[in-house]
Structure 1
Amino acid sequence: MTASSPRKSAVRLRALHLHGLMAAGLALICALAPVHLAHAQAIPQGTAQPQAPLEALEIATKGGVVVLEVEVARSEAQRSTGLMFRKELPERQGMLFDFHSDQPVAMWMKNTFIPLDMLFIRANGTIARIETMTTPFSERTISSGEPVRAVLELAGGATRRLGIAPGDRVSTNLLK
């Protein structure tokens, strides 16, 4: 063994330690900042999820109460498919994505034929933000901007036509 061998071993050991710390740091970042990408599962081309039973949902706006009927995507499979491959969505119908707890959420429009308005809803029912007239088939992620409990998707332009705005309150037993 030469005099430089212990030094080389120490350098290799530090390099391994550094790689281990980097891997641990990356794992920690991933664990602390989960982003749920709804609609992420690939499904066979042209296969729309069957319409689920419609349930009542109300939104208190400055102009009054807006009553909607929504399908509820509660399971991971339902959230992954969402409104993909649907060719139409009536004005006062939508899909509510329940994530069961507050978390950062990201959506996309892959395999979605119609423009949508996405309402990001806090646990207290207030609308945090609205992304209007999303682009069909786009794979651009649309972020909630803050932790939210749910996302409501409506036909593109419906929020403007119905007078729904950020800060309005969603009232439903569906999120309890």
Structure 2
Amino acid sequence: MIFRQLRFQLLLIVFVVFELSCSTENINSRSKIRISVGHATAEVEVAATPETRERGLMYRAKLDDNQGMLFVFAEEHTLVFWMKNTLIPLDIGFFDAQGLLLSVERMKPDNGATTYRSPSAALYALEMNQGWFDKNNILKYAQLKLPYEIIGE
């Protein structure tokens, strides 16, 4: 009888741990974090997997103020973005591995006809509503600060 209860409890624990690990993976793939760039703060979705980076902000009709998406890559390289299926004008800031802003590009919806490229190797790209970087007086070499280390796939 005691053995049967212990076996049931062990199975229950294994099931709960498995379920929690699955749900954590799902939460992380759509997680929002608070970041800062220079003196400005924003709440951003994290796109750190090939699938989330590919989808990006496609099909969004609106992006709230101080909301955006942070793209995180596994290693620094020249990043290239386009606006395929993106409905709203955006600014994109490219950051190196130390979190320093390399450049900001103004992107307009054009169904992918134009590409936007980092000027040198970058690890992060931050998409925000068009004008966000100017409105917050964020200049080249501003520091991107994350609440914790995020490693891209």
TM-score, normalising length from structure 2? 0.75
**Aligned mate of 1:87, from 53, 61, 70:** 61
1:134-163 CA distances to partner (integer Å, 9 max, x unpaired)?
Answer: 111342111101110010000111111111
- The residue that corresponds to 2:92 in the other structure is 118
Of 55, 58, 68, 2:33 maps to 55
Q: Which runs of 5+ in 2 are unaligned?
A: 1-28
Q: 1: distance between equivalents of 2:129 and 2:48?
A: 20
Distance 1:66 1:175 in 2: 20
TM-score (norm 1): 0.65
1:135 maps onto 2:113 in alignment? no
Post-superposition Cα deviations, 1:6-28, rounded to whole Å, max 9, x if no partner, equal: xxxxxxxxxxxxxxxxxxxxxxx
Q: Please give the root-mean-square deviation of Cα atoms over the aligned residues, in Å.
A: 1.5
Paired residue secondary structure (2:133) = helix
Per the TM alignment, residue 174 of structure 1 is displaced from its structure 2 partner at its CA by 4.3
- 1:129 counterpart letter in structure 2: S
Structure 1 partner of 2:16 = none
Aligned length in residues: 121
Q: Percent identity?
A: 31
Work out which structure has the larger RCO, using CA pairs closer than 8 Å and 6 or more positions apart in sequence: 2
Q: Does the residue aligned with 2:65 lie in a helix, a strand or coil?
A: coil
Q: Distance in 1 between matches of 2:90 and 2:149?
A: 21
CA radius of gyration, larger in: 1
- Answer whether contact 1:69 1:92 (CA < 8 A) is retained: yes
